[in-house]
Structure 1
Amino acid sequence: MRKILFIICCMFAFQSAHSQLFSKKKVQNDASGGNGQIDNNTLTWGYFLGFNSYDFKFTYNQNPDAIQLKPQLGFNVGLVGDVKLNNYMNLRLEPGIYFTTRNIEYPESYGLTDPVDRLREIKSSYVHIPLLLKIGTKRINNFKPFIVGGFSTSINLSSNEKNPDDNSNNQFRMKQRTFYYELGFGVDFYLYYFKFTPSIRGVFALNDELVRDRDPNSPWTSNIQKMQTRGIFINFTFQ
């Protein structure tokens, strides 16, 4: 699913860029309904809607069969605050809420023969707060490609970190706070009334998120050295 979404986004950006690059110069929209170029404003606001696909990167103490991941498509919504630093760089704050579900399946080699014990469904609702540096090219007609990167943190509203029950009672526990770095790219499209921006970003956790079971020999957590979130965000921003 993530590969399909990535290909669609790239095709959309390439088709739009190609149609403008290889045509004569067009009238430039100001993305503000005729009230002046939006890029002349030092501070601008907006919102975004989008999709996400989260999974985990596992690092093991030994080398048994890998835990299988079955991520599902999630939904994002949030706000955008953009500060213009110069004609090519912007500092952006994009707080949002991200809803996602991940399913993990343990192999039988972990000593789990009951199918119920081998499966864990992990539902998460994140308040995700990234601080990003956006670096764009020179505007070409009514579009402007860019790359973006930065650091972020999230609070998992669905975290059961403090739950006294663990996997022996079907409770797979994760930490509430996570830190990430992010990298991505996108294209600003200047329309008459607003600026529309499709973008794609990869997010990579910096800290271990797993809360271990009380039993040091737990088949669910004893062999996991680190469990770190990875994800892909596809956002559509309106400013």
Structure 2
Amino acid sequence: MKKILIIICCIFAFQSAHSQLFSKKKVLNDASGGNGQIDNNILTWGYFLGFNSYDFKFTYNTNADAIQLKPSTGFNVGLVGDVKLNNYMNIRLEPGIFFTTRNIEYPESYGLTSIVERNREIKSSYVHIPLLLKIGTKRINNIKPFIVGGFSTSLNLSSNQDNPDDNSSNQFRMKKTTYYYELGFGVDFYLYYFKFTPSIRGVFALNDELVRDVDPNSPWTSNIQSMKSRGIFINFTFQ
């Protein structure tokens, strides 16, 4: 699913860019229904819909077999607040809700023999709040490529950090709050009534998210030095 979406975005961007760059007819859309160019506004609003794919980066205390992870495709929805700094830079706040599921499988070498012991399903519902700097190129007819980066934090509404049960009771625990840095790119397409922006962004956690089991020799957590989320967001923004 993720690869298909990326291919669709690339094809759409290439076709639009080709028509804008090589078409003789170059009508500049103002993305506001004829009420003035949207880029002239200091403050603009919008919303986004999209997809995500999260996994984990594990760091181990010993040179043991790696934990296997099976990510799946999740769903994003949120709002966009954009402040124009100049013709090339914008500050963006993009609070949203992100739903994702990750399945991890421990190797038998950890002393876990049954399928129930070796497998953990981790469902997360994040309130994700990034503060981003968007740097764009000069507008080319009705398209404007850009790169984006910044820092973010998320609150895991599905966190069981305070659950007294741990993996001995089949409860894999994660911390509630995570901090990230983010990097990505996209293209603004100026349409008559609004600005449409497909983008792709990588997010990388800065802090360890694992809550250790009570037993210091737990086969599920004792060998994990750190566990940090990583993810890819594909968003479609409307402003």
TM-score (ref. length: structure 2): 0.98
Match of residue 41 from structure 1: 41
Structure 2 residue aligned with 1:68? 68
| Structure 1 residues 54-80: Cα deviation after superposition (integer angstroms, max 9, x where no partner) | 000000111111111111110000000
Query: What amino acid is aligned across from residue 231 of structure 2 in structure 1?
Result: G
Q: How many residues align?
A: 239
Q: Gaps (5+ residues) in structure 1?
A: none
Distance in 2, Cα, partners of 1:114 & 1:63: 23
What SS does the aligned partner of 1:14 have? Answer: helix
Structure 2: tracts of 5 or more residues without a match = none
Alpha-carbon distance in 2 for matches of 1:156, 1:105: 22
Match of 1:200 in 2: 200
- CA–CA separation in structure 1 for the residues paired with 2:14 and 2:223: 44
Q: Distance in 2 between matches of 1:32 and 1:76?
A: 25
- Which range is displaced more, 58-67 or 224-233? 58-67
- Name the CA distance, whole Å, in 2 between partners of 1:86 and 1:7: 32
Q: After superposition, where does 1:21-100 map in structure 2 within 5 Å?
A: 21-100=21-100
Q: Are 2:164 and 1:164 equivalent residues in the alignment?
A: yes
Indicate whether 1:231 and 2:231 are aligned: yes
Q: How does 1:90-239 map to 2 (within 5 A)?
A: 90-239=90-239
Shift of 1:21: 1.7
Contact 1:25 1:141 in 2 (8 A): no
Q: For 1:7, what is the secondary structure of its paired residue? A: helix
- Cα deviation, residue 17, structure 1: 1.4
Q: Distance in 2 between matches of 1:206 and 1:65?
A: 24
Aligned AA (1:161)? Q
Q: Which amino acid aligns with 1:11?
A: I
Give the aligned residue type for 2:152: S
User: Residue deviations 1:2-29, cap 9 Å, x none?
Assistant: 4443333223222321222222351100
Mapped to 2, the partners of 1:21 and 1:228 lie a distance apart of: 42
For 1:13, the aligned partner's letter is A
**C-alpha distance in structure 1 between counterparts of 2:38 and 2:237, whole Å:** 14
In structure 2, give the amino acid aligned to 1:52.
N
Cα-to-partner distance string for 1:139-158 (whole Å, 9 max, x where unaligned): 01111000000000000000
Partner SS for 1:236? strand
The amino acid that maps onto 2:176 is: Q
Distance 1:238 1:226 in 2: 37
Q: Secondary structure at 1:15's aligned position in 2?
A: helix
SS, match of residue 11 in structure 1: helix
Determine helix, strand or coil for the equivalent of 1:221.
Answer: coil
Per-residue CA deviations over 1:152-186 (Å, capped at 9, x if unaligned) read 00000000000000000000000000000000000
Q: Judge conservation of contact 1:46–1:237 (CA < 8 Å) in 2.
A: yes
CA distance in 2 between counterparts of 1:230 and 1:6 reads: 18
Measure the CA separation in 2 of the matches of 1:46 and 1:223.
Answer: 44
Tell me, in whole angstroms, the C-alpha distance in 2 between the residues paired with 1:151 and 1:35: 34
Distance 2:18 2:217 in 1: 57
Structure 1: distance between partners of 2:167 and 2:153: 26
